[in-house]
Amino acid sequence: MNTMRGQELLDTLNGKALTDWQGFPDGLRARFLTKDFAGGLTLVNAIGEAAEEANHHPDLTLTYPHLDVKLISHDAGGVTGRDLRMAGRISELAAEAGVKVDSAAPTVLELGLDTANRDVIGPFWAALLTGDASNVDGDDVVDPSNRVPLLWFQGTEQHDVPKQRMHVDLWVGADQGEARIAAAVAAGGTVVDDSQAPSFTVLADADGNRACVCTIADRR
């Protein structure tokens, strides 16, 4: 099954006039302006029926004013012809329902971290962000449940730790903070400052990059 990425995917979208959709490394995305929740549910149900007929199921995220849709062929590891066909069908359903699209809305946030020690700090960030130190795939920390953005490591030369100008604040449930901190420490991290725990605890990976595990506990 052939997959499409980069310029090939962009050229294919333009060639098939799929102007509702934007291409990203993780698939096709579109936002439909359903305006109200009832209209969104109606469109979701229509997409669900079409997905069952095609045996190809998109990811749907419905909020009050809009419906976000993502398409990718997970078994092929990229966008395939069946994603394009489903995208066209979803656009038809939205047009029939009088639902407009916001083609400028789809975005994907990734976090990049320069390091000469990917294999050392990777498990720390996987444990911190996902709770499982094994969620490292090459240069990426991946979250199978899609709760947090992808974090990727960019190789660099070994160097002294610079003053950090950006850090990660990870919010977890008030009863989950201790477990997440323990997982990150077990994966090679250290506790830098726990004077404000359980409100927040500062951790660092082996390169000295810092992150905070935050909860609502003890906050006024």
What are the beta bridge partners of residue 30? Answer: 69
In a domain, 76, yes or no: yes
3-state secondary structure of 195: coil
- The β-bridge partners of 154 are 114
For residue 219, is it within any domain?
no
E strand residue ranges, 80-199: 100-101, 110-115, 136-137, 140-141, 150-155, 168-171, 190-193
Sign of CA dihedral 24, 29, 30, 36: negative
Q: Which two tokens stand for residue 180?
A: 């997440």
What value does the mean pLDDT of the chain take? 91
Domain end residue (candidates: 63, 78, 101) = 101
Q: Are residues 140 and 210 both part of a single domain?
A: yes
Q: For 73-89, what is each residue's pLDDT tens digit?
A: 988 888 999 999 999 99
CA pair distance 139, 56, nearest whole angstrom: 29
Answer yes or no: do 82 and 165 share one domain. Answer: no
Tell whether the model's pLDDT for residue 24 goes beyond 70: yes
**Domain identity same for 80 and 28:** yes
Over the stretch 87-114, which tens digit does the pLDDT of each residue have?
999 999 999 999 999 988 998 888 989 8
Q: Domain span at residue 197?
A: 110-214
Q: How confident is the model over 140-183, as pLDDT tens digits?
A: 999 999 899 989 998 888 877 666 767 888 988 888 999 999 99
Tell me, yes or no, whether 119 and 177 share the same domain.
Answer: yes
In a domain, 193, yes or no: yes
* Claim to verify: residue 67 and residue 135 sit in the same structural domain: no
Q: Which CATH number goes with the domain that contains 160? A: 3.10.180.10
- 126 and 196 belong to one structural domain: yes
* Nearest in space to 142 (alpha carbons), one of 156, 125, 154: 125
Token representation of residue 76: 């092929």
